[in-house]
Amino acid sequence: MTMVDRDIHLPVAAQPTIDSIVDYTRAAETAGYDCVWLPETWGRDAVTVLSAMAERTESIDIGSSILNTYSRSPALLGQTAATLQELAAGRFRLGLGPSGPAVIENWHGMTYGNPLKRTRETVEIVRQVLSGEPVDYDGDEFELSGFRLRCAPPETTPPIEVTGMGPKAVELAGRFADGWHGIMLTPEGIDTRLEDIERGADLGDRDPDDVHVTAGVTCCVLDDPQEARALARQHVAFYIGGMGTFYRDSLERQGYDEAADIYDAWQAGERERALELVDEDILDDLCAVGDPETAREQLARYEAIDGLDAIAVSFPRGADEEGIRRTMDAVAPDA
């Protein structure tokens, strides 16, 4: 069995300061994690925080997971990647994705359009920017001419990794990106998505092993295992019911017909009903929660997947600082 990296997907909800987020990053570096991924939601912008993380760490990779492909232009994303790669001394990884219409249209006031095509063209343009050569691009979503970095391009080009839930989105990653990130997937669900990666790599005349595959897994280790499960249950219900239809559809593709009922209950304001529908099997299949031994055993199921390169440890939305740090320690690479 090949060695699987152990990453951290940083929590951002209700973090009091930038320093607190950087402290998690430094703790992950000390604990032997390979990379820390920072999401961008509706709080602090990711680029500023990633800059602080880069300056205050020495060896751990840092990455965006994700910057959406609508609120920043592809040229600006390329500039940002070049700048963060310089600041991090070659440790930056650019995570991109289209997000969803609720975010893009409601928060940013932009038309969602064709997310797959936009993601593909963004990846291609960012690569041109990072090459340091003039950017001339004629696509369906973007037309650019005359842009060129006025600083030296990165000596080591940062990898461009994309998100995506459906078969076509994952196929696109296999065809064009350096990596793919998936979340809310069982080990069996990851296996199926790896088939999409292979199909995309074949279409792009690439080796699928060149696509770095990362699975995000919700983890929670507490003194009270039942409290850990309760936090994970709330997290799963929120994602299925309250984050658009992406996670509902993904769970249905993986054989969980009850995902539609969870979604409907949440949308109807029946939150307790939605929580009840997230049964023990769903929790055990999707998460690594409870006592330390149980969580490590559940993560081991993902480590056994042939073709998976990294597990990104993430945390339930309701986890506090003590729970996050306890979980990080319990499932650290050297634990």
Q: What local confidence, expressed as pLDDT, does residue 13 receive? A: 73
Dihedral class, residue 15 (left if φ above 0, else alpha if ψ from -120 to 50, else beta): beta
In a domain, 241, yes or no: no
Considering the domain boundaries, does residue 272 fall inside one? no
CATH code for position 211 = 3.20.20.30
What string of pLDDT tens digits covers the 335 residues of the chain? Answer: 468 999 999 998 778 999 999 999 999 999 999 999 999 988 899 999 999 999 999 999 999 999 999 999 999 999 999 999 999 999 999 999 999 888 899 989 999 989 999 999 999 999 999 999 999 999 999 999 999 999 999 999 999 999 999 999 999 999 999 999 999 999 999 999 999 999 999 999 999 999 999 999 999 999 999 999 999 999 999 999 998 898 999 999 999 999 999 999 999 999 999 999 999 999 999 999 999 999 999 999 999 999 999 999 999 999 999 999 999 999 999 88
- Residue 12 has a pLDDT of 81
> SS in 3 state form for the chain?
CCCCEEEEECCCCCCCCHHHHHHHHHHHHHHCCCEEEECCCCCCCHHHHHHHHHHCCCCCEEEECCEECCCCCHHHHHHHHHHHHHHCCCCEEEEEECCCHHHHHHHCCCCCCCHHHHHHHHHHHHHHHHHCCCEEEECCCCEEEEECCCCCCCCCCCCEEEECCCHHHHHHHHHHCCEEEEECCCHHHHHHHHHHHHHHHHHCCCCHHHCEEEEEEEEEECCCHHHHHHHHHHHHHHHHHHCCCHHHHHHHHCCCCHHHHHHHHHHCCCHHHHHHHCCHHHHHHHEEEECHHHHHHHHHHHHCCCCCCEEEEECCCCCCHHHHHHHHHHCCCCC
Residue 289 lies in a domain: no
9: left (phi over 0), alpha (psi -120 to 50) or beta: beta
Q: Is 101 domain-assigned?
A: yes
- pLDDT at residue 23, rounded to an integer: 97
Pull the structure tokens for residue 132.
């340091």
> Domain for residue 210, yes or no?
yes
Whether the ω angle into residue 66 lies within 30 degrees of 0, i.e. cis, is yes
Instruction: State the total domains in the chain.
Output: 1
Domain range for 11: 5-223+305-330
Structure tokens at 279: 């049964």
User: What is residue 2's predicted lDDT score, i.e. its pLDDT?
Assistant: 60
